[in-house]
Structure 1
């Protein structure tokens, strides 16, 4: 057998064994508390409040809650997203639940306020003496 092939095979097996034997993290038994003291549902990662059951029932029946968490839309953006899902993904009419769901989504998953739009803060202006 080729020495390089043997070394590569052994390396691959050792990496596989290490990955197989590493301990895995389990979800905490209690809801997770985030920095602003909101508690997250351990099943979905969504913020816990009195509208969560409705949102879980209507939204996560078809897709992962991760799509909600990453979207950060305005109220009108969430409404447009719902209309798109109704038009193209066979989402049912939410009826009286829609304003309640929009309130929840806008409050917890609206746009994040940022002090600037760049990757980093601008560099301070330099005064050069001539």
Structure 2
């Protein structure tokens, strides 16, 4: 088989698989409702029982109140991750908040929030500094 034909088949196959995955909805980013945010929280922190859940405006993140303090669950593509917000720093952006976790594996998360929700989240995250607006 000629190299040109083999390359065309390989690239065509990869493009076809990517197109099918997109058409079947597997390229959609993860979004949360209250129950799914609790489920994703428990996957990372099975002992820390989630209480009240506050969803972001685009439902890509959720603030979870727990007995151990507030935590954040957010989407990373089609998966999620969660972190306790101990020692987090908040910065106001035009569209919400930037939460800096001061952790190498998860340095910061931008959360889209309405002005009212921004105030609620800032009040619930106990140790934070609010800084000036950043570009969103």
- TM bin (shorter chain): 0.3 to 0.5
Name the structure with the higher strand share: 2
Normalising by structure 2, report the TM-score. Answer: 0.33
Name the structure with the higher helix share: 1
Higher alpha-carbon Rg: 1
